[in-house]
Structure 1
């Protein structure tokens, strides 16, 4: 079973018991932290008062895992065991220990929560990860997609008795995009500065600083979805953050090639392309962008690559960021 982190609190509220094995994983630290807090709190309500935390790594003594599950306190018959693996790699001994631990029947009266980042594409093929994914109730702690961020902010505000219009929430989301921890801090701050009720744009602008953290993946999604204003903002943000330009260019070029493959497959009536992880945004981009414009953009990216290496390209600006914004907006505005 898999539960999205934003839905976990409601799900736990409807549950009279907890599964023996849990896995909080993803790439959003705040959601992983809060998911662990929610599960731990619900376990305590259900009588799991004995708690033990194991901070593990690839070089840790993994024999602790089985020992911890077997040793329940003298005055408690229920235990909550947390296994934290911040590095995401258990090592050879850890991998075996996890598989052995999950292979036996759950110890009665013990709930175990594993918390770790989701492995890369190679790691998810490992036997220990497959065992975790199959045996545990999984809480997906991935970043909130930008289109869903205003609703996430609104839900957080509602807990403090505050609300805002859709336009104000969109403005708020622009200021905290890609930085959920900052978003939570700003929402908490607003609850202290203003009374319950509706917040105005002026309230937000006076109190919330620009703490957005932009990503290359966000840029690709914005291009695919035709969000030109967001494309411009993200590129400016990536440059201001000091993002390594060759990396930005490499990822964007790779994803445009994937779009070409997806578009070609769509025109041939095919729904699957081997070797392409087609996210909803990429699928939307492949439907929206024609092959002619995609191939033209790839040609421009080749020019930008030469510019970034200090070579002159006729009729192109010498600043690769300017050219990158130009071709990205060309794609975002294309129909």
Structure 2
């Protein structure tokens, strides 16, 4: 069964919790809020204990299956959260998950968080059999034309109103980064309180420096300009930028680059890749250089580091997010591959 994000709470209220919830997508804020809605509804349904398993080379599906079927230490229902960096399941994982869903533990709710589900995966017989017994929430990125309406709704939810010009200016400044938009709206609420926002308020409060450096930082890293990229990283940190916003830009580009490299290995010409992935003209030289310079292994390592940065920034794992971003830049700039563990 498929749900939209705004249907999660009504679903719990009408049908009660199900055995497995799958949330997939690439937009960090919408993904986070969808998962938060599931967690909140699960708590309201009595699932008070929570266990988190993050995807890495040592993830044990038998251990997850055992945890799902075991009683809670405190006799409470529990939520088991699986965060997977890749939409890949080996034969053991497929067998275990299929077997569990035949007779799920009613005192356990599974929440599986995945990147975007590609058609080649979502149309497999195995996933379609899982989908029949699960709730699937696919989080789609906002279209550019929908961003102003999303911003307007968010501003109203924060107890403010904004002019059409103010909304258009904020949409231009954040350039599709919903996490940045949400943070700027919260900053506006704290600084201006409830009331009306005009373009002048946006102009004086919302800076576009971070936006410019955000995407230029990724390009400088991909082009191998480590020294320049690190200077930009230090500037972002000194400006009070959140590491998760920087990470959003890196992960977005890395996932696209990984897909392009896979297709290039199958013989797709670079010119067609640039066209298919809708690369802007001004960025084509950077991406062409990255396709020649980067390898699937290097991008996989970068994504693994990104996953650890994400957990460190959220306080869910050891390590320093800013040092992790430094390590990420060095890997993309061509420095020797080392352990993906980020320093503390």
| Kept in 2: contact 1:149–1:173 (CA 8 A) | yes
Number of the residue aligned with 1:112: 110
- Contact preservation (8 Å) 2:21, 2:110: yes
Q: Deviations over 1:196-225 (max 9, x none)?
A: 0111111111122232788xxxxxxxxxxx
User: Secondary structure, in 3 states, of the residue corresponding to 2:47?
Assistant: coil
Match of 1:2 in 2: 2
Distance 1:79 1:27, change over 3 A: same
**Kept after mapping to 2: 8 A contact 1:58/1:92:** no
Determine if the alignment matches structure 1 residue 250 to structure 2 residue 272.
yes
For the structure 1 residues 27 and 128, does the alpha-carbon distance in structure 2 shift closer, same or farther, using more than 3 Å as the test? farther
Match in the other structure for 1:84? 83
Give me the whole-angstrom Cα distance separating, in 2, the residues matched to 1:72 and 1:35.
Answer: 27
Q: Which residue of 2 aligns with 1:170?
A: 168
What pairs up with 1:1-335 in 2 under 5 angstroms?
1-5=1-5, 7-8=6-7, 11=10, 15=14, 17-57=16-56, 59-102=58-101, 104-210=102-208, 211=211, 250-251=272-273, 253-254=275-276
Cα distance in structure 1, aligned partners of 2:13 and 2:153:
18
Report the Cα distance in structure 2 between the residues aligned to 1:129 and 1:107, rounded to whole angstroms: 20
CA distance in 1, matches of 2:131, 2:100: 14
The CA deviation string for residues 39-76 of structure 1, in whole angstroms up to 9 with x for no partner, is 11111122111211122346521102221111121433
- Contact 2:9–2:41 (CA<8 Å) still a contact in 1? no
CA contact (8 A) 1:57 1:87 kept: no
Which entry has the higher C-alpha Rg, 1 or 2?
1
Which structure 2 residue ranges, 5 or more long, are not aligned?
216-252, 258-263, 290-344
Q: 1:132 to 1:202 in 2, by over 3 A?
A: farther
RMSD of equivalent CA atoms? 3.4
Distance in structure 1 (CA, Å) of the matches to 2:25 and 2:145: 19
Indicate the SS of the match to 1:76.
coil
Q: Deviations over 1:81-114 (max 9, x none)?
A: 1111123323332233222222x13211221111
CA–CA distance in 1 between the matches of 2:191 and 2:99?
Answer: 52
- What TM-score, normalized to structure 1? 0.59
C-alpha separation in 2, matches of 1:98 and 1:178: 36
What is the aligned length?
Answer: 231
Residues 20 and 111 of structure 1 are in contact (CA less than 8 Å); yes or no, is this contact kept in structure 2? yes
For the residues of structure 1 that align with 2:135 and 2:2, how far apart are their CA atoms?
Answer: 6
Does the CA-based 8 Å contact 1:12-1:42 persist in structure 2? no
Over 3 Å counting, the alpha-carbon distance change for 1:16 and 1:163 in structure 2 is: farther
Task: Tell me the TM-score normalized by structure 2.
Answer: 0.58
Residue 24 of structure 1 and its aligned partner are, at CA, apart by 0.6
